[in-house]
Amino acid sequence: MISSLQELVFDNRLVRELPADQEIDNYRRQVAGAVYSRVAPTPVKNPQLIAGAPEVAALLGLRATIFTDPQFAQIFGGNQLLAGMEPHACVYGGHQFGNWAGQLGDGRAINLGEVKNQRGEHWTLQLKGAGPTPYSRTADGLAVLRSSVREFLCSEAMHHLGVPTTRALSLVSSGELVRRDMFYDGNSELEPGAIVCRVAPTFTRFGNFEIFSARNDIALLKQFTNFTLRTDFADMFPGPAAEFTKADYLRWFNEICIRTAQLMAHWMRVGFVHGVMNTDNMSILGLTIDYGPYGWLEGYDQDWTPNTTDAQGRRYRYGNQPRVALWNLAQLANAIYPLIDEVEPLQAALENYRAEYERCAQRDAAAKLGLSQFDPGQDQYLNEQLLECFQLIETDMTIFYRSLAQLNADDISHYADTQCVDIVRESFYSAADENVETQFAGWIRRYAQRLQQDYVLTGNTHEQKIARMNSANPKYVLRNYLAQQAIDKATAGDYSEVEKLLNILRNPYDEQPEYQDYFAKRPEWARHKAGCSMLSCSS
């Protein structure tokens, strides 16, 4: 481990090996024939570190003491560059809400460079909110504190939940005010600015391939794809650089399909809703990327979306995420089709997505119920019945599953309906009437019988079931109102709640009795409060 930022080693493969934009001035424009544009972060008045993630510093080979370095905020606030950094922004396109949007690109993200750590791993450092780039369109390239707190916290929360994600090294206040129209209603306000340093092996998106294909720049599409296979999928294609074949491209696309299916299953498992599943927000590594108007299910609702922009169509609602991911993969297949020139094998890879998602969803359904394995003949119906029960009364999914773990299948036969429901009653947002109690009690009894059958077949015990369920069902997630409370305090200059949430969310599956107050349903005051329910893309 190293103790100085100056000891970081940069190996900037993308800027070294791929074509750059020949225009060096930083103004909004269409950029053709290039993968990236060189652009420096915009200096800010008074960068101050709000929070840092020691686990991410360790990925880079840095000691946790690095956050006390006075130079840290200057560098990750965009005021200084380290030797070896080559800041740049990448061009990409994308389908937004189902429609081709043309050139998009890193409009408020600037890649500082690729750190090569002592293990030989490459980690790209990216500042979000560090000023305009050629891809900023009509925006200013900046970010506000509220969205930056949400991105910083959720990046790390998702990692500790076991969900593939980009990471967040630091959250830095800029000391400047940024004007934003939070509700897109013409009432803009000045808000504190902030910058997040995001970290990932790569930030390459489906849209990076779409833009070259849409422009019929097949030579650059092939060059960029070959680079991607050599660098970001080196474990699949080891050895010296060579010309790739159609079979290689298909193998690679199939891997993206598999990783994306696994990611969708994770989102559904923990009740996460991304909110903006445009193709430019889909990572080729199967990572959660771009934390905008995301949200967590409070009351279970397949149709819920956190994005005000999507409030009418609800394209990116919770229950539609697996289907949207498949649609997005089909757009990526269209983009790389010129490299393969065959439809059938691309369709076969998309079918593999469906199969992998179903496999993961069944595995997760069994784990969430504490079963040793998923029996389609019984458990598909059991799970569907549970989701029907969720429609009867507003139910907090996180609290429901965590409470259900305490059910003792051997005792349930002696319980009246009310006693059965008492096990999970804490997860209801309102009082359960007689019909609700009857339906839930009936399901709980059927579930208890299934558990007893599983015990007989496997020899598992009640205690083992609890452990299995608690390892699959988090106790603590970044609830929207919790994030907003941290934002409200941070806006007033108190960053203690950001640190507290970061600490709680490091161990989301642990009981952590000292933080029991954070294991609670959304308060009624937060049901419609800005930032606690739906959010806009404004940041």
Which residues have a catalytic role annotated?
Answer: 280
Rounded CA-CA distance 158/160 in Å is 5
Residue 2 · residue 62 · CB < 8 Å: yes
Task: Count the neighbouring beta carbons within 10 Å of the beta carbon of residue 426.
Answer: 14
Of 353, 325, 324, residue with least CA distance to 254: 353
6 beta partners = none
DSSP assignment string, 57-105: HHHTTB-GGGGG-HHHHHHHTTS---TT---EEE--EEEETTEEEEE--
200 beta partners = 124
CA 217 to chain centre: 31
Rounded CA-CA distance 108/197 in Å is 12
Of 252, 294, 265, 262, residue with least CA distance to 277: 294
The DSSP output letter for 40 is: P
Rounded CA-CA distance 447/445 in Å is 5
Distances (CA, A) of 265 to 93, 257, 362, 376, 434: 26, 12, 9, 17, 34
Rounded CA-CA distance 210/318 in Å is 25
Rounded CA-CA distance 134/102 in Å is 14
122 beta partners = 116
Non-local CB neighbours of 538 within 8 Å, separated by 6+ positions: 147, 180, 181, 182, 183, 184
528: left (phi over 0), alpha (psi -120 to 50) or beta: alpha
368-385 burial, b at 16+ Cβ within 10 Å, e below that, comes to bbbbbebbeeebeebbee
Rounded CA-CA distance 440/453 in Å is 20
Rounded CA-CA distance 490/486 in Å is 6
Rounded CA-CA distance 306/273 in Å is 7
Q: Residue 428 phi/psi, 5° resolution?
A: -85, 140
Burial of 477 (0-12, 13-18, 19+ CB in 10 A): buried
Element holding 175 (H helix, E strand)? strand 167-180
Residue 195 · residue 125 · CB < 8 Å: no
